[in-house]
Structure 1
Amino acid sequence: MYGDTYHGTGSNAEADRDNKRGFDLSVRLAEREQQTLKRNLTPVDQVAACSHMAPDPKGLPPEYGDENQLVFAANNYLGLTVDKRVQQAAATAAREIGTGAGASRLVTGDTQIHRALERDIAETKNTERSLVFSSGYVTNVGVLSALNPDVIISDELNHASIIDGCRLTNAETLVYDHCDPESLHVTLEQRAREGNSDESWLIVTDSVFSMDGDIAPLRKICTIVEEFDAWLMVDEAHATGLYEDGGGIVQHEGLSDRIHIQMGTLSKAFASQGGYVAGSEDLIEYLLNAARSFVFSTGLAPPAAAAAREALSIARSGDRSAQLWRNVEWLRDGLEEMGYEVWGETQILPVIIGNREDTMALDDRLREQNVVAPGMRPPTVPEGTSRIRVAPMASHTNEDIDRCLTAFRKAGRDLDLL
């Protein structure tokens, strides 16, 4: 029993505990600090294009600074977290249904707002049905572990939730070169020669990659997957809501009928919380029975479901995505004209610096000018590709974009990067 494992008190108790089979976390933290990998929480006063920020208060209340920070670091791409329509939808659901689901969806946590959201997602993604989970992370983990294929073939830069999902299966996981259809084809050919003809294969890729801002060649991948009679799962977390009719890259390229599993999140463009999977009737029925992260989790909170549904409606009918792409083009052009190297082809703008020390110095100089655009360094990104990840929102004004560019120009010159 837990209560019987330790009976010491006071300083001697601390010494005894250090000699037990425990964890010296102070050493681990010191190691992370030495490797410049230790992170701190940074409270904000609101989730928006501009926010007051506070240094990490640990267990105390945050103390916010006087100046507004321009946030180019969030995935709130359409800027809908503070939209009154989205807030009202959440408030109405809280009042009429409740603040929480109260139980697993399979018990009593399944409400009309969950079902309405799932119908809207399925319509947007051009599938028979969809299923909403409590986060995007547990969606990937749940889908992969429930399907438990014999072999998973994964893009080398797929999200951590896909990697962890692979680890929870009994599958042999093969990795192909990033966004390289030829590498994928070679990998599948080799497996076909060496493996069992009865194996189940699942190819998994992000559609938009969160660090490089590039897009998977989905049409070519579909053709290869079909050649080998396998299944394809596409993670649309950073694409959902930004393209035609609120869809993602899959819809933008007209590939809904060629992809077996479409996954995405509600916490980015849809300004809420949660994840979803969309596909066939059989897929959804199987997952709601077999995905442990769905079966054994309390259902998504009704206000979150309502907020996501309203955000999806706005994305489908409004001009938010058009404004986002205007801001993206303006920022990219401005940064490149200064001499910065900007990767990607989406709303994620990785400004490549290369050296990790220079990158973090640029991060600091931008913050001094009240612009928050985070530095990304190894192991998050490959060695030699440290970068500032710039993520504009549709809600950034022309003045905001100009201020961001001015900050990059001054910081770059001060650090001899331009």
Structure 2
Amino acid sequence: MSVLPLSPAPLSVFGGMRSKLTELKESGLYREFTPCSYLAEEPGTALHQGRRIQVWCTNDYLGMSQNAQVMEAQIASTLRHGTGNGGSRNIAGTSEAHVALEARLAAWHRKSRALVFTSGYVANFETLTTLLQAVPDMVVFSDALNHRSLIEGIRATKNRKHIFPHSDVAALEELLSQYETERPKLIVFESVYSMDGDIAPIGAICDLADRYNAMTYLDETHAIGVNGPTGAGICEQLGEERPTFVQGVFGKAVGTTGGYVAGPDEALDYVRSHAPGFIFTTTIPRSSLDATRRSLDIVQSGAGGELRRKLRENALRMRAALRTAGIDFIDAESHLVPVLVPGGERVKRVSRRLLDEFDIYVQPVNYPSVAKGGERFRVTVAPFRTQEQIDAFVRALRACLDNA
């Protein structure tokens, strides 16, 4: 059966989009995607236009997506259960793996319940919108540098909102003090902020929550698998159990896909029963969940501890090499190494030269992800990276910066 093309009239409504895209390109803020197909046999390497390149900006912090045991678990599960399950969680989509994984995550974070979502973004957005809509008089206090998924989850509701300066405990307290003790309150923040690599004052914020009768929602996305004796995040590292809700993901250090929220039983049961993005979407296949469970076996073990040690060591080696080469970077507390390359066009030129001349891929980070003038590369140095690779990366970066 032939398909007739749309007439020009309906398509004309997109004319405004065309002009806005043109403006975006002219401003230098148009996003370019670099296709890269990772090679499991050679961690940190991908195929791009038929050639091998090294990837230095992946969020697969521990290299778990290419771990042999994790891949074998997914393959074995696929052969047994298939590639998908064809259902939402409430219509034939909940497997035994969902149930076991949610119980494991709740115990990991010392909470009474956990819910698995299709991604970390969905976990944040759906949980926040559902909870806030259920308590319309709850006031929300959001860190100024929160991730877009947190921002949009809060924006989607009619609740009163306050944005406090990044990690500014005094400013947060000033805002909290404006409300009576009985007024429901929720403080939303992250543990590791990925653009600067800094860590929030979790204990101080929890102290304020106790003092002003507030709940807390903590996004541990960039700390899951990376921090803590068993990889449960910054809270585990600090011995801090007070955050009301803890969000995490599988798509970064765990190396698979999906996200989750752990917290109070009744609150998350309410989310399970009302969140559209949980109820009305096909869920994660059993095979991916089985790979996640196998990855957690490793992440939570002594082997995971060794990977975390190597990750931290490599971050220190990268900082030392950058310092020696006179390259500006943020000396962050976390495993992330933000390399500052101010100028939207300049950071893109350097990125393109690295790829074209040195087979190195590192994604330029521009406005609005960071402020104008704060353009950068967010460099990650996985446990499998060698000193020779780090030195070669820094030499290539120095050469590109000198001619940018």
Letter in 2 for 1:386: E
- 1:391 is the counterpart of 2:360: no
Secondary structure (helix, strand or coil) at the match of 1:288 reads helix
Paired position in structure 2 for 1:184: 172
Q: TM-score, with normalisation over the residues of structure 2?
A: 0.91
In the aligned structure 1, how far is the partner of 2:291 from the partner of 2:388?
Answer: 28
Higher mean Cα deviation, 295-304 or 174-183? 295-304
Paired position in structure 2 for 1:362: 350
Secondary structure (helix, strand or coil) at the match of 1:351 reads strand
Indicate which of 54, 68, 72 corresponds to 1:84: 68
Secondary structure (helix, strand or coil) at the match of 1:246 reads coil
Paired position in structure 2 for 1:4: none
Indicate which of 301, 323, 329 corresponds to 2:285: 301
- List per-residue Cα deviations over 1:187-239 (Å, max 9, x = no partner): 2123x1xxx65432110001111211111110111001111101001001111
Q: How many residues align?
A: 388
Paired position in structure 2 for 1:6: none
Higher mean Cα deviation, 177-186 or 368-377? 368-377
- List per-residue Cα deviations over 1:132-153 (Å, max 9, x = no partner): 1111111001110111142111
Secondary structure (helix, strand or coil) at the match of 2:193 reads coil
Letter in 2 for 1:363: S
Paired position in structure 1 for 2:163: 175
- 1:230 is the counterpart of 2:221: no
Paired position in structure 2 for 1:61: none
In the aligned structure 2, how far is the partner of 1:406 from the partner of 1:201?
Answer: 50
In the aligned structure 2, how far is the partner of 1:248 from the partner of 1:376?
Answer: 25
- 1:341 is the counterpart of 2:328: yes
- 1:38 is the counterpart of 2:30: yes
Letter in 2 for 1:51: A
Indicate which of 120, 131, 138 corresponds to 2:122: 138
Paired position in structure 1 for 2:58: 74
Matches within 5 A, 1:105-254: 105-148=89-132, 149=135, 150-190=138-178, 192=179, 198-243=182-227, 244-254=229-239
- List per-residue Cα deviations over 1:50-79 (Å, max 9, x = no partner): 1121xxxxxxxxxx233x211111100001
Q: Does the 8 Å CA contact 1:70/1:400 hold for their aligned counterparts?
A: no
| Offset, 1:18 | 5.3
Compared CA separation, residues 153 and 271, structure 1 to 2 (3 A): same
Secondary structure (helix, strand or coil) at the match of 1:158 reads coil
Q: Does the 8 Å CA contact 1:124/1:246 hold for their aligned counterparts?
A: no
Q: Does the 8 Å CA contact 1:214/1:346 hold for their aligned counterparts?
A: yes
- 1:290 is the counterpart of 2:282: no
| Offset, 1:10 | 7.7
Higher mean Cα deviation, 143-152 or 223-232? 143-152
Q: TM-score, with normalisation over the residues of structure 1?
A: 0.88
Paired position in structure 1 for 2:250: 266
Letter in 1 for 2:367: P
Letter in 2 for 1:40: E
Secondary structure (helix, strand or coil) at the match of 1:202 reads strand
Letter in 2 for 1:130: A
| Offset, 1:22 | 4.7
Paired position in structure 1 for 2:17: 25
Alignment RMSD: 1.9
Identity value in percent: 31
Compared CA separation, residues 229 and 211, structure 1 to 2 (3 A): same
Compared CA separation, residues 299 and 17, structure 1 to 2 (3 A): closer
Letter in 2 for 1:41: F
Q: Any stretches of 5+ residues in structure 1 without a counterpart?
A: 1-8, 54-63
